[in-house]
Amino acid sequence: MSVSRRQFLQYLSPVLAAGVPGSFSPIANALSWSNWSGGQRSNPNALLYPASESELKNLVVQRKGTLRVVGGGHSFSPLVNTHGTIISLEALNGLLRHDSTTLTATFWAGSRIAQASPALSRVGQGFFNEADINMQSFAGAISTATHGTGRHLQSLSAYVTALRLLTPEGDFIDCSPEKDNDVFQAARCGLGTIGIITQITTQNRQAYKLKEVVSVMSLDEALRYVDSHKDQHAHIEFMGFPFGNRAIVKTLDETTDTDTPVNEPVIDENRLLEFAATTAMDHPWTNASLQHLIGMFVSDSTRIGPSYAIYPSPRAVPFNEMEYELPAEQGLDACKAVIDTMRRHHLNVFFPLEFRYVAADSVWMSPFYQRPSVAISVHQYYRQDYHPVFQALEPVFRHYQGRPHWGKLHTLTRQDIAALYPRYADFMGVRHRIDPQGRLLNPYLRALFG
């Protein structure tokens, strides 16, 4: 019995806490919050769910101290953690309006991509690109420059054409390239430090269908394949298993062909993956064999359907992640260096690395700012300490002038960030103007943007 590659990819990460922004639970009279992987936890003094912009404004004005907004809680970095107030815009969701002539649409910021993308399709539009999963909130996704793959496709932030946000002083700002452009440029990827976004307008395209083709090959072949085919597919990426020398290559292209039927999994892939990850954790000597066996359990597959159904590959086994965005022309060399480092250090990691392409954009704090990039991410099973893996690999990413993905783990300082992001000073200028009291900063963000 075999698992299709799509199904295997689907189960490479944790069961989504659907509808829940991270996880909230009351413990001994204290509130506790954790992100999706469980790697970030904190005890806020309040978790609030305003149901309207006026309710949001009232609570922002009335409450004292730190305010952090949470989206879907799917970031690995400590962006949301606070002992102050966590605000979720989960109740502010849905399509507000659309324009069929300009192919633009405005959503409430709390909408999950999983809701927004089908809603967009129903009015004849589609997002240009999407990430591996779709459980992010729209605001959370753009606030960290979330991206998919494709040499000519930019991060989600780059398609934003207007925003409405609330400052910590209680003022609403409607910004766009035509109005308050500096606020707009900062807030398109603002990490929740440039106000609380309530409405997002994006440039979209006509609704479309995608054909996904997944195939397994050796890791060496995959490196050559993505390089030689990167201009032949709208989207191309691979998941690489350095110890088993295997890779799962995925391409996506627009099609008008008939949809393929949706197949139910024949075996519990989640248990299979959990078993492999646990076995590799407890018995590291099995890792190479388990990774090599991927080809036995994963078969070539093709899938066709509406873009919103084909993009996401729900993740079902939790992990923690580091991702750096590197200059595209050095992407393959950087990936080879990452693979070589993993092998030389005998890093005990079963989860694959992911290799994707992202086009340059002009969003101030986007890691893709004016730089066509390759995104390389490395993952560690949530029950394993990720520090040895990320500590060994981060110097490689830094050697190639990598800029960290804001939603993922890194150890860079304010000086590093200022050197890597050409518009850091402009961003800081807007930040101080919007949030002079530093209410939108937690300790992690204060160290970088205080």
Ligand X SMILES: Cc1cc2nc3c(=O)[nH]c(=O)nc-3n(C[C@H](O)[C@H](O)[C@H](O)COP(=O)(O)OP(=O)(O)OC[C@H]3O[C@@H](n4cnc5c(N)ncnc54)[C@H](O)[C@@H]3O)c2cc1C
Residues 6+ apart with CB under 8 A from 170: 57, 60, 61
Angle value at C-alpha 113, between 119 and 117, nearest 5 degrees: 30
Residue number with CB closer to ligand X (103 or 363): 363
Per the CB < 8 A criterion, the answer to whether 394 and 387 are in contact is no
Q: How far is the CB of 258 from ligand X (least distance, A)?
A: 27
Residue number with CB closer to ligand X (57 or 405): 405
CA separation for the pair 152, 163 (Å, rounded): 24
Q: How far is the CB of 77 from ligand X (least distance, A)?
A: 8
Residue number with CB closer to ligand X (182 or 259): 182
Q: How far is the CB of 434 from ligand X (least distance, A)?
A: 11
HEC string of 213-242 equals EEEEEEHHHHHHHHHHHCCCCCEEEEEEEC
Residue number with CB closer to ligand X (63 or 292): 63
> What radius of gyration do the chain's Cα atoms show?
21
Residue number with CB closer to ligand X (125 or 143): 143
CA separation for the pair 54, 208 (Å, rounded): 37
Q: How many helices (H) and strands (E) does the chain have?
A: 15, 23
Give the alpha-carbon dihedral of 358, 240, 399, 425, to 10 degrees.
30
Binding site for ligand X (CB under 6 A): 13, 21, 36, 68-75, 79-80, 89, 109, 131-133, 136-137, 139-141, 143-144, 146-147, 191-192, 196-197, 315, 405, 407
Q: How far is the CB of 378 from ligand X (least distance, A)?
A: 13
Q: How far is the CB of 136 from ligand X (least distance, A)?
A: 3
Residue number with CB closer to ligand X (75 or 154): 75
CA separation for the pair 164, 167 (Å, rounded): 10
Q: How far is the CB of 40 from ligand X (least distance, A)?
A: 9
Q: How far is the CB of 198 from ligand X (least distance, A)?
A: 7
137 DSSP β-pair partners: 112
Residue number with CB closer to ligand X (297 or 406): 406
Q: How far is the CB of 442 from ligand X (least distance, A)?
A: 9
Give SS3 for 61. Answer: helix
Residue number with CB closer to ligand X (6 or 245): 6
Longest Cα separation, the chain: 60
48 DSSP β-pair partners: 87
Alpha carbon of 116 to those of 125, 197, 206, 207, 212: distances in Å? Answer: 11, 16, 15, 13, 21
